[in-house]
Amino acid sequence: MNTLCNNSNEVPMVITVDGLMTILHVGRNTAYDLVRAGKIRSVRVGKQIRIPREAVIQFLAGNET
């Protein structure tokens, strides 16, 4: 996910924290802080964090979980 997305349909169904950094134009610490604080819903798969596309859309719309 190195390129910018023009609309939400171009974002994969599930993204990584690195993908979140690209979409929101924030640094690694900020991305992890958003996930850790529960401002962006996420799922752990083993040791990895995955973020549903809908969680990012809700966050950007101001409808944090």
End-to-end CA, the chain? 24
pLDDT of residue 11: 77
> Using one digit for the tens of pLDDT, what is the confidence trace for 7-60?
667 778 999 999 999 999 999 999 999 999 999 999 999 999 999 999 999 999
pLDDT of residue 2: 44
In a domain, 65, yes or no: no
Q: Are 10 and 34 in contact (CB under 8 A)?
A: no
Task: For residue 55, give the CATH number of its domain.
Answer: 1.10.10
**How many domains does the chain fold into?**
1
Q: In which domain, by residue range, is 42 found?
A: 11-60
> What is the CB-side half-sphere exposure of residue 18 using CA atoms within 13 A?
4
5 to each of 10, 12, 33, 43, how far by Cα in Å?
6, 10, 23, 22
Residue 63: pLDDT band (50, 70, 90) is: confident
pLDDT of residue 1: 44
In a domain, 3, yes or no: no
In a domain, 39, yes or no: yes
